[in-house]
Structure 1
Amino acid sequence: MSIERLVVIGGDAAGMSAASQARRLKGPEELEIVAFERGHFTSYSACGIPYWVGGDVGARDDLVARTPEEHRARGIDLRLRTEVVEIDVAGRRVRAREVESGAESWTSYDKLVVATGARPIRPDMPGADAAGVHGVQTLDDGQALLDSLARARGERAVVVGAGYIGVEMAEALINRGYQVTVVNRGSEPMSTLDPDMGRLVHRAMEGLGITMVNDAEVTEVRTGEDGRVRSVRTADAEYPADVVVLGIGVSPETGLARAAGLPVGVHGGLLTDLAMRVRGPLADGRVWAGGDCVEVLDLVSGRERHIALGTHANKHGQVIGANVGGGYATFPGVVGTAVSKVCDLEIARTGLREKDARRAGLQFESVTIESTSRAGYYPGASPMTVKMIAERGTGRLLGVQIVGREGAAKRVDVAAVALTARMTVEEMTALDLGYAPPFSPVWDPVLVAARKAAAKVRGGTR
């Protein structure tokens, strides 16, 4: 019996999860696995990088779940500092280049996994590539930022963008003693929330001493004679900076796949079926893709979207590995759940924002309630704001956003389950959630919001 070869492009969550799962199902005598990674690290938590930079996580290696040596010990031919620069789908082979030496070679495959991840968006403006300007997506990026902070020995930082990465990096830099300015082109930080909920995050950031500049866009990064960043400019002002962190967001790293003729969606991510196989005849059922380089089905809106999260990447890898290894698994889609924090302020969302619902052509009602994390009389009870969106007429839950202190963020998981089950807000009011004064009021904040939403839907039914 001939041995098949699986080639994996990308050594982080999706790629190495796929390789590891395939190896569990098939031994080296049945399946040879070759994995290429252009960086220095494998199987690490990119989501933990802001907490490492800020000092909450003590060491870089604490973020590594499985080292290259551990992967190799499991029978995976892992080639670090080697970048795949071409995919020849017709010839079933990839061309790889060693980063240090520049030496190139072709490797044939029977099955291919594309797990190239995403890249930080760099604005097209003067100075965007200057020394001291950092995107933060990989462990190598995090190390480069820390090295830059050590060299700069400055005290002023500018974060461009106020999404998850921007907000988390602003907190990290505050923890390191920097004066931080966040320049955000939106009306409020956290565009993944509706503006009224983002305003709560804005107030919390200012309470930490972070200067928020909203409705502004950086037009230029200015440098000194040494070539390092000295300031950033907007149309109306200039902000001094010893270091700049880009928190604008990420885009799928699909240039390699595009050049090979593989299909991408409107958001730039590779398109796959439920088994994570790349669609179209060119892939010939031999190419899979997962992680931050793919688009996934939004179960609420029914549309494809790009979401760069390690949770999804690891699930994609498990599905791919099962299918490559002769089993069967699918990834049905997502509801868009995400949590974050700014110091002790917890931020959570799942499902659709108001503008998402409008874009999907849905008529809806939205409600916002104020509650507490525990029974009001119990020590430590803290305020919590919950916003809930429901479809007009049917009452189907469409989305939930939560901002509050300890105990707020993970309450969004109840809403994520309700969204997946396509529950109505009326049905949610009867959920049998856990209650005791140290953990919740008699009516949990999510249920209070559901009751108010159900009443509004009934009143707004046409």
Structure 2
Amino acid sequence: MIIGGDAVGMSAASQARRLRDASELEIVVFERGRFASYSACGIPYWVGGDVLDRDELIARTPEEHRARDIDLRVRVEVTEVDVAGNRVRVRDLASGDQTWTGYDKLVIATGARPSRPPLPGIDARGVHGVQTLEDGQALIDTLERTEGKRAVVVGAGYIGVEMAEALIKRGYDVTMVQRGPQPMSTLDPDMGALVRDAMCGMGIEVIGGTEVTEIRTDEHGRVSAVVTDTAEYPADVVVLGIGVRPDTELARAAGLPVGEYGGLLTDLAMRVRGHENIWAGGDCVEVLDLVSGRERHIALGTHANKHGQIIGAGVGGGYATFPGVVGTAVSKVCDLEVARTGLREKDARAAGLQFVAVTIESTSRAGYYPDAAPMTVKMLAERRTGRLLGVQIVGREGAGKRVDIAAVALTARMTVEQMTALDLGYAPPFSPVWDPVLVAARKATVAVRERG
């Protein structure tokens, strides 16, 4: 039995079905939404018009899953888990009927919930979160029937900056308000400042260091403005990009173990700790950070799909493990690419690590080659050993995916000096003779030697 029919749930179901046919293993999936197996990461690009049709985001329909002997039931919500009785209570959202259903093996794939602070007017018409396909469709419907062209995005994380781009493409005047001083809190503030400058250059008004206190509405109950502790910003539509938290209310009520960030705790095989017949994965769990050695909550589709494969192997009688993450992510706003992996400065300090930090400026191609675009690379290395701790990249076309070099180096626990010898591909249309990541590694190597 699987609770949740998106990345983790359906990956686990599909992998288990590859290992066991229907005569050996019955698979039932409960999904409270209308869709399953879709790319939530693609919703901003659908809203912005890069993806023209909603169905392009759907990897496999419920009918296609059922044809593979996976009993996927949509619009059915699990309301209670009885661990001692090996059963769950489910409610049919169409009829309201509730029943108990037993299981031999349980997979919890409930994902994450968008943060929605209890502010006056937060539930007004025209205020949208963006988490599911239903959310994306509701936002598109609002944008198409709204006469005004003023949008306020609350929050400046990945979803916030991607939605700001989508709204710009739809011809809206966009204001972004955030609690932190710079957008993209997953970056160090000096790198976040580069993102802010670039977004302002795109015509996005970025307001940092401010707290939203109220969503103001008109006489018809529609949003009219976002009020902060310092100012008021007119709005015809508001998009919330404040972040997400693990959706573990069911698991908590059932007495399953959760960590510091509210995510379920699992072993390497993605079994919930202390429970041999319960697995969990995706945005509802915490994972091991291979750089700091601590548990973290990271909501990314890449991890979710891997978790699903591992869980499916375990449920189907095979064996696989998930060793952990290094925290790699990449995003864009218009033509600006933003990437990071490993630790930020404050992460390294919190882990008790002493480090050096260096920043370099380079280009995506050889400087003389047409359309060579600037990029900034920041690198952290452990002070005594020179072990790579983290990399952040902000630049134009060709910058973002370079972070994968650093992700591999982090996973291999390489030093920055070892990185300088990496045999990377070179030709003027693709890179300077010294790739920007290696230039940063050379500078970090010198800093380690001087301060080590």
TM-score range, shorter chain: over 0.9
TM-score (norm 2): 0.99
Tell me which of 287, 294, 297 is aligned to 1:306.
297
Paired AA for residue 251 in structure 1: R
Paired position in structure 1 for 2:396: 405
Paired AA for residue 347 in structure 1: V
Please state whether the residue corresponding to 1:258 is helix, strand or coil. helix
Paired AA for residue 353 in structure 2: L
Paired position in structure 2 for 1:149: 143
Paired position in structure 1 for 2:420: 429
User: Superposed, which structure 2 residues align to 1:127-206 within 5 Å?
Assistant: 127-206=121-200
User: Superposed, which structure 2 residues align to 1:293-442 within 5 Å?
Assistant: 293-442=284-433
1:307-332 Cα offsets, whole Å, 9 max, x none, are: 11110000000000001000000000
Tell me which of 421, 438, 443 is aligned to 1:447.
438
Q: CA deviation at 1:68?
A: 0.5
Please state whether the residue corresponding to 1:182 is helix, strand or coil. strand
Paired position in structure 2 for 1:269: 263
Tell me which of 28, 33, 53 is aligned to 1:34.
28
Q: CA deviation at 1:150?
A: 2.4
Q: CA deviation at 1:224?
A: 1.3
Tell me which of 237, 250, 255 is aligned to 1:256.
250
1:347-397 Cα offsets, whole Å, 9 max, x none, are: 100000000001111000000000111111111111110000000010000
Tell me which of 59, 69, 79 is aligned to 1:75.
69
Paired AA for residue 83 in structure 1: E
Q: Distance in 1 between matches of 2:310 and 2:196?
A: 39
Q: Distance in 2 between matches of 1:425 and 1:24?
A: 42
Paired AA for residue 269 in structure 2: A
Paired AA for residue 127 in structure 1: G
Paired position in structure 2 for 1:21: 15
Paired position in structure 2 for 1:291: 282
Q: Percent identity?
A: 79
Please state whether the residue corresponding to 1:31 is helix, strand or coil. coil
Q: Distance in 2 between matches of 1:376 and 1:177?
A: 34
Q: Distance in 1 between matches of 2:168 and 2:176?
A: 11
The gaps in structure 2 that reach 5 residues or longer are none
Q: CA deviation at 1:203?
A: 1.1
Q: Distance in 2 between matches of 1:153 and 1:108?
A: 51
Paired position in structure 1 for 2:43: 49
Q: CA deviation at 1:138?
A: 1.1
Q: Distance in 2 between matches of 1:224 and 1:100?
A: 33
Paired position in structure 2 for 1:65: 59
- Taking only aligned residues, the RMSD between alpha carbons, in angstroms, comes to 0.7
Number of matched pairs: 452
Q: CA deviation at 1:91?
A: 0.6
Paired AA for residue 337 in structure 2: E
Paired position in structure 2 for 1:4: none
User: Superposed, which structure 2 residues align to 1:232-251 within 5 Å?
Assistant: 232-251=226-245
The gaps in structure 1 that reach 5 residues or longer are 1-6
Paired AA for residue 344 in structure 1: D
Q: Distance in 2 between matches of 1:225 and 1:271?
A: 47
Q: Distance in 2 between matches of 1:216 and 1:450?
A: 36
The runs of at least 4 aligned residues of structure 1 exceeding 6 Å deviation read: none
TM-score (norm 1): 0.97
Q: CA deviation at 1:35?
A: 0.3
1:327-352 Cα offsets, whole Å, 9 max, x none, are: 00000000000000011111100000
